[in-house]
Amino acid sequence: MANVVVVGAQWGDEGKGKIVDWLSERADVIARFQGGHNAGHTLVIDGKVYKLSLLPSGIVRGGKLSVIGNGVVLDPWHLVKEIALLREMGVEITPETLMIAENTPLILPIHGELDRARENQNSVAKIGTTGRGIGPAYEDKVGRRAIRVADLADAATLAARVDRALVHHDALRRGLGMEPVDRDALLAELAKVAPTVLEYAAPVWRVLDQKRRAGKRILFEGAQGALLDIDFGTYPFVTSSNVIAGQAATGTGIGPGAIDFVLGIVKAYTTRVGEGPFPAELHDADGQRLGERGHEFGTVTGRKRRCGWFDAVLVRQTCATSGMNGIALTKLDVLDGFETLKICVGYDLDGEQLDHLPFAADAQARCTPIYEEMPGWSESTEGARSWADLPANAIKYVRRVEELIQCQVALLSTSPEREDTILVTDPFED
């Protein structure tokens, strides 16, 4: 039996939803290990559209255990809303099908307020966040002033934790010209939401250990993408969690040895939302066309995504930092009809050719992409279910991508439909 980690290999929005859904159907446990409700997964099952941003994708399938690990930051009010919405759609959610780690830090309304205040403050500070309080909640976690799920069980502990957090937040808010936090109102809101959250609270590390020993299949569902990783992403234009595969272990409490296969989700071109460097970004008709054909608008914020050619340098980097065992290549059909395709194979930095993106911001800004051109294909690849269905030039493109990123294609997705997939390697059986 294998345990599989799925991570986005670019800046998020690689089309994880369909792949995660396909894998979660065959898993016993589906666990989230980082991020929060900044993620946006759309699942289409039997014609019904489910939009998830906090709960693991497995929740919509009966008979599975869905787990929120300690590496996630959890907005309890959002949790209540998402559960209610799914229940209205007929999804059964019980303490047997959903467990939340007791040591998960909470996102409070003050985190969202701070996130948005900073974003609106001035252009120097702007990251282009989702405004959902993710960064400030993680800051409180490492600042040792977070309120965690287990704290909701005892009124005295909760009040003490809130007081500890407010010493910091009120000082910060004063500096930003914001009103101090209404402590009693916050405590009252927390007391109201506590019973729902506590219903699902569990020692997740222990449950996962038991499942693993019983030979159950665990799917670790990553959110965002490895280029948004707090350490290895395009800092500071990143999210505030570790996104790379190693986080599956620390974000749930399972040892790294329990992970058997890391699957990277890779889009056949590149997109990003929010601010930050993007060497292969296109500002021309080709970029426009990628955005239109790929329906590149954010699921959470509705923002238009920036588009560019496939950047093999960055994906080779994320395949290395996540230890990818294979990739799922998505949205190949968006490239149908381009006469010529380009792949970024290196960067030119002041006349020197680099095979990676340097961390220094000034060097990043001076990096210009070095492109390799490949002939496109006029035929449609949409809905292809075997290699034989693909035009020769499309196969050449995929093979060149594999070569450049030094990682093999395990799955090739050719439309949002689940059946439109070419399976090369099954991550659970590998």
Q: Write out the binding residues.
A: 12-18, 38-42, 130, 144, 224, 239, 299-305, 331-333, 413-415
- Residues making up the annotated binding site for IMP are 13-16, 38-41, 130, 144, 224, 239, 303
Catalytic, out of 141, 169, 211, 267: 141
Q: Interface residues with ligand IMP (CB under 6 A)?
A: 11-13, 38-40, 127-130, 132, 134-135, 223-224, 228, 237, 239-240, 273-274
Cβ distance to ligand IMP smaller for residue 240 or 322: 240
CB 308 within 8 A of CB 281: yes
Smallest distance, Å, CB 135 to ligand IMP?
5
Least separation in angstroms between residue 54's CB and ligand IMP is 11
Is 13 labeled as catalytic in the residue annotation? yes
| Pairing between β-strand 340-349 and β-strand 368-375 as defined by DSSP bridges | antiparallel
Q: Which is nearer to ligand IMP, 226 or 341 (CB)?
A: 226
Catalytic residue among 37, 41, 111, 211: 41
Give min distance, CB of 233 to ligand IMP, in A. 9
Amino acid at 109: P
How near is the Cβ of 48 to ligand IMP at its closest, in Å? 22
Strand, helix or coil for residue 270: strand
Q: Which of 376, 315, 306 is nearest to 345 (CA)?
A: 315
Q: State which residue has the least CB distance to ligand IMP.
A: 274
Task: Name the residue nearer to ligand IMP (CB basis): 29 or 238.
Answer: 238
- Distance of closest approach, residue 232 Cβ to ligand IMP, in angstroms: 14
Q: Which is nearer to ligand IMP, 66 or 129 (CB)?
A: 129
- Residue 211 among the catalytic residues: no
Tell me whether the omega of the peptide bond preceding residue 236 falls within 30 degrees of 0, making it cis. Answer: yes
Would you say 102 or 229 has its CB closer to ligand IMP? 229
Q: Helix or strand or coil: residue 102?
A: coil
- Nearest CA to 155 out of 185, 197, 190 is that of 190
Q: Which residue positions form the known binding site for substrate? A: 299-305
Tell me which DSSP letter residue 61 carries.
Answer: S
CB-CB contact of 221 with 22 (8 Å): no
Distance, in Å, from the CA atom of 91 to the CA atom of 157, rounded to the nearest integer, reads 34
**Taking the CB of residue 139, how many other CB atoms lie within 10 A of it?**
16
R_g (Cα) of the chain, nearest Å:
22
* Alpha helix positions (H), 59-148: 76-88, 109-121, 134-142
Active site residues: 13, 41, 141
